[in-house]
Amino acid sequence: MLKKKKRGYPNAVLIGLGENQTTIWRIYSESGKFEKNIDLSDRRDSKQLYNHYEMIVNNIRPLIKTGIRSIIIVNPSKTKYSTQLIDHFKKRHRWLFE
């Protein structure tokens, strides 16, 4: 008989920032579950980067409304992608820090 895979209760949202895409995962107490990939074609274009950050917020908003209170942001070493995203959150989405 097959065992049912344990998921656990939701703990956090993981945002993985790469050069050309962002990956969003739900983190549970026992496992993680892939949520969505968001593509970005040009990181140097400020308008496109702004829209990309807004798409990230729009995708994590329903997860936060379900009661998840932690956001984990990861990025490749020697890049400032997470700092830029946090600055965007602080400037435009203060409710994420409450």
pTM of this prediction? 0.88
SS3 82: helix
DSSP state, 43? T
Give the C-alpha separation, 10 to 96, whole Å. 17
Interval 26-65: pLDDT, tens: 999 888 999 999 999 888 899 999 999 999 999 999 999 9
Instruction: Report the amino acid identity of residue 6.
Output: K
Run of H or E residues at 38: strand 32-39
Give pLDDT tens digits for 58-85.
999 999 998 898 999 999 999 999 999 9
Both tokens of 6, joined, read 């344990």
